[in-house]
Structure 1
């Protein structure tokens, strides 16, 4: 199964320099709406079978053009929601960098628990479980490799990628997930393969699932890097 991890487009909070978290009414700004339309162009020609997204407005807006183009009804999954930043929610980034917890978030995120909110380790646990559960469900339903989209938030996507890369959560700040970017993970029977990260380009045709052959070893990594798609 291959999942396209899509970060929502640019929001009004992004441009205001605020930590939106789960605040209500945070929508895409004009640039974000343009990005959502562009996503429909980028992914619309791919055989996307399902779209799952965070319940927050900015994610719903991001996938709407793609869902319309593909004729799909998106599924909302609460486990893909933004981090609960607790009392940090709504505060400006320039003020938060002065907090002692800021250094923990940067250097030792696995130990970071937001006051009145959740810890980043909790975020990774719920998000990875959600992605793998959807993957298993689609594998059982289709009996073949399926391409699907999960639209979520920056820190959530970074935590999923850290798991797929087999690296500790304390390294997840080395991963970038810009607004409207796609990161792609293919889950095989033994391991995930990270195909793309923070991709904002146009050509994604290489993500179309290959037709399996009798000699294919979809769970094996090729010595030397293989011949590509």
Structure 2
């Protein structure tokens, strides 16, 4: 009887182990999502789209990808520029394998500095909004390196996300207005300093009068 009970306990334990084994086994490591490996660049002045792949040209591919990779989830930085100030448009499409994932319009010769546009309609069907951005200051030279027919324009400033420092039109700065503002600020400072000096003088005079009365 003892042998029968032990056998039943052994069988029950084996069944429990068999049931619990899949639950206790470590979950398989999730495979990393595939990375972009191809970029196409299309434009009105291009006979056919330019293709940049990661394997034969990893540095060039990374440079082009850096121009648009930060745009996916970023908030718009600027309102829609005037069409006449944008210059030529180049549509950059980022692919993973044969599947298009992201698309952006780049304007390397826009007045005031490069601009980038993210359309709400994306090839991977993700939800986003139309948005305009200040592009990186290296945009023109990066596109030119891929074969886009742009004038040589060596960049001396390296823009971070959103382009870093901005380049302004000549009309953006108004020397006369800035001088008037400077003079106005200087006048306010002088008046404030004069008021402070007057208060200090009156205070010292009052203290001196009080001391003189007490010493009599």
What TM-score, normalized by structure 1, do the two folds share? 0.24
Flag the structure with more relative contact order, 1 or 2, with Cα contacts below 8 A and sequence separation at least 6: 1
Larger Rg: 2
What TM-score, normalized by structure 2, do the two folds share? 0.25
